[in-house]
Amino acid sequence: MRFDVISIFPDLFPGPLGDGIIARASDKGLLDLQVHDLRAYADPPHNQVDDEPFGGGGGMVLKPEPLFAAVDDVRTQAQAAGFDPGPVVLLSPQGKRFDQERARALAGQAQVTLICGRYEGVDERVRLHLVDFELSIGDYVLTGGELPAMVIIEAITRLQPEALGDAEATQHDSFSELLLDFPQYTRPADYRGMSVPEVLRSGNHPAIAQWRRQQALLATATKRPDLLEARGLSDEERALLAEASNA
């Protein structure tokens, strides 16, 4: 999968994407990250990418001309590299909340263009006529879209086949079924008087699977009840949750 990031601070990349699982995915050829300097698409000699807003007010607004030119060029480059150009996404606090469902949807794309907003935002013509949709990683404001772009790239990349080395690894992630993950334990079995639950050491895989399901339901009900409300519960899950709550 290819990501094209448009930013006025391209040197921020790859940042955390240059280590760990995402770096290994890149080494395997599963991820092609291309970062484009927006200033390269602005008119010389000053290569200005922002200007004062019409109507007055504080702050600066990213101009439409460099952004349109950058997206046109990025799509041409992606196509020349053999990637079918996908959606153009603006990172903005006004965007829809990025979540696991949207990560899965974008993971099916061959290419995604991410525009990193800055300052007071972008010219409205960019929003209306250039981007396909906007995304936000939370209800707070950051200085720019670079960190959200990294978050989105990581979340999508780890869903690519072979990215984690275990095809089933992402199936049990938190939010994969609108459930939080079940508790995890490792060696030693006993530490400072704290023991790993006996069921996990039993070798009884059906019992382990049921315990994990039950604990995932309990964790979600305790920490994120809104997820269960949106998801709904089967009769079996209600029984498991009631049993766990009364334990």
Q: Which residues of 208-226 are buried (b: 16+ CB within 10 A; e: fewer)?
A: beebbbbbbbbbbbeebee
Point out the catalytic residue in the list 2, 75, 158, 213.
158
Which residue among the candidates 32, 120, 154, 237 is catalytic per the annotation? 120
Please tell me which residue in 32, 173, 181, 237 is annotated as part of the active site: 173
Contact residues for 170 (Cβ-Cβ < 8 A; gap 6+):
158, 159, 164, 176
| Cα 192 to Cα 35: distance, rounded to the nearest angstrom | 49
Active-site annotation holds for 158: yes
Among this protein's residues, is 173 annotated catalytic?
Answer: yes
- DSSP H/E element including 38: none
Angle value at C-alpha 128, between 127 and 133, nearest 5 degrees: 60
Q: Which of 10, 16, 53, 93 is catalytic?
A: 93
Query: Hey, which residues are catalytic here?
Result: 93, 120, 158, 173
